[in-house]
């Protein structure tokens, strides 16, 4: 124990309140905003508290302050009692008075498509919301400074200055428009007829699609480079397999086609995995079967996407790079054809046929069900990202903050 009971009991209560505000906000400026004080006043009070304790409480940084171990111990001992005292001694709002708006922040796509619809019942009951969007790190800094009441974060905040609970998991899906999926040999499950036969191909040619050389397996074509010593795992499995591999793409029977592998029908050849299934072979069953594309065997080689434009959220491909590493065990080495700093824009571009992308399932679930998008792959272990509901420690003076938080935690079970 760094500070004894006597030392803590002799400390000035106002100084402790200011200390807790600095500890939670991460800066003297943020604490001043929370307390309605000037920044020099907060600085003077912290110097006085450090003189009383004889310990350094905060390390001054270029941006804000970092608590020392002494500050961590002191905050753990005084936070709950000060919060209870503030709840008891705080001003009681007049009967019938409206509560202050709840300031909520998070990713624009999740807020607009999922969170705000879930909060509609509270708004109908009179709860007021002020919603802000942005990236996680700046929003968490603003939460510490008192600008928000709740933040939905894509990563768990570090340290003890904020309280976070898991809210929801988002699964990432590799998707493209039907016209690209058909050219790649991936059948649309949503457009299959009731008797299980695939629907007729749309027949539209993807923008910029040209014939490619198909005389060699995809494994010999351009591929992502694995880091030294990295073993490439087995490729993922396809979202759906056609009963007759690629047969629906050509009107004449397979036996009447040229003897080259079926990969010549796709814009980029798949790496061969095994002999062609008997149902898709020519009548000479005893002769060696030609190599079949991976689609026919239920596998997916990401090299086939080299000729398909990539649409992504940012230039550094954060979501796509993570998907490639997790699912294919390799590094994604390419540039984006289109970047849109809003996943709803990425979704619109991909659905219109601009190319392929990796999107969270909550955002593209309806287009997948309607057939406007096709999942190129459904791996057994898809990449998952956990979102967290974050707030400053202690009870809020605004009762509607607790109502919004409780409803979000309940509603998230169905997301």
Give the model's pLDDT for residue 35. Answer: 85
Per-chain mean pLDDT for the chain: 76
Calculate mean pLDDT across residues 278-292: 39
The least confident of 101-105, 225-229, 253-257, 290-294 is 290-294
CB 249 within 8 A of CB 201: yes
Query: What SS3 class is residue 230?
Result: coil
How many angstroms separate the CA atoms of 182 and 205, rounded?
A: 10
Give the model's pLDDT for residue 72. Answer: 87
Calculate mean pLDDT across residues 277-296: 38
How many angstroms separate the CA atoms of 162 and 143, rounded?
A: 9
The single-letter DSSP state of residue 99 is P
Say which residue, 82 or 316, is predicted with more confidence.
316
Q: What percent of the chain has pLDDT over 90?
A: 47
Query: Which residues on neighbouring strands pair with residue 133, listed in sequence order?
Result: 106
Residue 125 has pLDDT above 70, yes or no: yes
Give the model's pLDDT for residue 77. Answer: 87
pTM of the model: 0.61
Report the CATH fold assignment for 5-89.
Arc Repressor Mutant, subunit A (1.10.10)
Give the alpha-carbon dihedral of 344, 350, 356, 360, to 10 degrees.
Answer: 30
Long-range own/partner contacts, residues 134-143 (CB < 8 A, 24 or more apart): 134/105, 134/108, 136/107, 139/105, 139/106, 140/390, 141/26, 142/105, 143/105, 143/390, 143/391, 143/392
Band (pLDDT 50/70/90 cuts) for residue 102 is very high
Say which residue, 25 or 179, is predicted with more confidence.
179
The least confident of 125-129, 285-289, 314-318, 347-351 is 285-289
Asked if domains 5-89 and 172-245+263-271+291-385 share a fold, the reply is no
Residue 390 has pLDDT above 70, yes or no: yes
Calculate mean pLDDT across residues 129-157: 93
CB 79 within 8 A of CB 20: yes
CATH number of the structural domain 172-245+263-271+291-385: 3.40.190.10
Q: Which of 12, 69, 72, 70 is nearest to 44 (CA)?
A: 12
Query: What SS3 class is residue 161?
Result: coil
- Please count the other Cβ atoms lying within 10 Å of the Cβ belonging to residue 34: 21
Say which residue, 177 or 222, is predicted with more confidence.
177
Residue 154 has pLDDT above 90, yes or no: yes
Give the model's pLDDT for residue 180. Answer: 95
Q: What percent of the chain has pLDDT over 70?
A: 68
CB 22 within 8 A of CB 31: yes
Calculate mean pLDDT across residues 375-380: 94
Band (pLDDT 50/70/90 cuts) for residue 30 is confident
Calculate mean pLDDT across residues 151-175: 91
Residue 229 has pLDDT above 70, yes or no: no
Say which residue, 294 or 104, is predicted with more confidence.
104
Q: Where are the beta strands (DSSP E) in 146-228?
A: 150-153, 163-176
Band (pLDDT 50/70/90 cuts) for residue 89 is low
Q: What are the domain boundaries of the chain?
A: 5-89, 102-151+392-414, 172-245+263-271+291-385
Query: Which residues on neighbouring strands pair with residue 169, listed in sequence order?
Result: 386
Structure confidence by residue, pLDDT tens digits, 305-316? 989 999 999 999
Band (pLDDT 50/70/90 cuts) for residue 9 is low
Q: Which of 387, 395, 336, 379 is nearest to 363 (CA)?
A: 387
How many angstroms separate the CA atoms of 396 and 83, rounded?
A: 9
Report, in angstroms and rounded to the nearest whole number, the Rg of the chain calculated over CA atoms: 29
Structure confidence by residue, pLDDT tens digits, 181-218? 999 887 554 334 333 444 444 444 444 444 333 333 33
Band (pLDDT 50/70/90 cuts) for residue 7 is low
Give the model's pLDDT for residue 231. Answer: 41
Give the model's pLDDT for residue 94. Answer: 59
Calculate mean pLDDT across residues 247-256: 41
Give the model's pLDDT for residue 203. Answer: 43
How many angstroms separate the CA atoms of 233 and 329, rounded?
A: 6
Token pair listed for 53? 């304790």
How many angstroms separate the CA atoms of 163 and 165, rounded?
A: 7
């Amino acid at each position: 124990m760094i500070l004894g009971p006597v030392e803590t009991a002799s400390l000035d209560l106002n100084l402790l309140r200011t200390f807790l505000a600095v500890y939670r906000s991460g800066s003297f400026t943020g604490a001043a905003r929370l307390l309605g004080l000037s920044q020099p006043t907060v600085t003077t009070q912290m110097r006085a508290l450090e003189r009383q304790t004889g310990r350094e409480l905060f390390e001054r940084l270029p941006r804000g302050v970092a608590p020392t171990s002494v500050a961590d111990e002191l905050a753990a001992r005084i936070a709950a009692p000060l919060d209870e005292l503030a709840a008891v001694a705080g001003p009681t709002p007049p009967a019938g008075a409206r509560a202050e708006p709840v300031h909520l922040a998070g990713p624009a796509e999740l807020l607009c498509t999922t969170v705000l619809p879930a909060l509609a019942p509270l708004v109908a009951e009179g709860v007021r919301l002020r919603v802000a969007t942005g990236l996680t790190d700046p929003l968490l800094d603003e939460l510490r400074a008192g600008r928000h009441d709740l933040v939905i974060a894509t990563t768990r905040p570090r340290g003890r200055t904020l309280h976070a609970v898991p809210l929801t998991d988002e699964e990432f899906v590799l998707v493209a428009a039907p016209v690209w999926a058909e050219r790649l040999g991936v059948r649309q499950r949503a457009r299959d007829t009731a008797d299980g036969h695939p629907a007729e191909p749309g027949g539209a040619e993807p923008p910029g699609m040209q014939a490619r050389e198909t005389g060699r397996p995809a494994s010999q074509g351009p591929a992502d480079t694995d880091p030294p010593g990295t073993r490439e795992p087995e490729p993922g499995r396809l979202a759906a397999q056609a009963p007759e591999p690629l047969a629906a793409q050509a009107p004449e029977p397979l036996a009447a086609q040229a003897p080259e592998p079926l990969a010549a029908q796709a814009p980029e050849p798949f790496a061969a995995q095994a002999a062609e299934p008997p149902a898709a072979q020519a009548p000479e069953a005893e002769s060696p079967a030609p190599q079949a594309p991976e689609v026919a065997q239920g596998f997916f080689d990401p090299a086939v996407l080299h000729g398909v434009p990539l649409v992504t959220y940012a230039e550094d491909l954060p979501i796509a790079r993570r998907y490639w590493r997790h699912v294919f065990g390799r590094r994604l080495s390419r540039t984006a054809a289109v970047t849109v700093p809003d996943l709803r824009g990425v979704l619109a571009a991909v659905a219109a046929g601009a190319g392929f992308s990796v999107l969270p399932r909550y955002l593209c679930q309806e287009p997948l069900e309607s057939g406007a998008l096709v999942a190129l792959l459904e791996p057994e272990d898809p990449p998952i990202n956990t979102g967290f509901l974050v707030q400053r420690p202690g009870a809020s003076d605004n009762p509607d903050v607790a109502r919004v938080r409780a409803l979000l935690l309940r509603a998230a079970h169905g997301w």
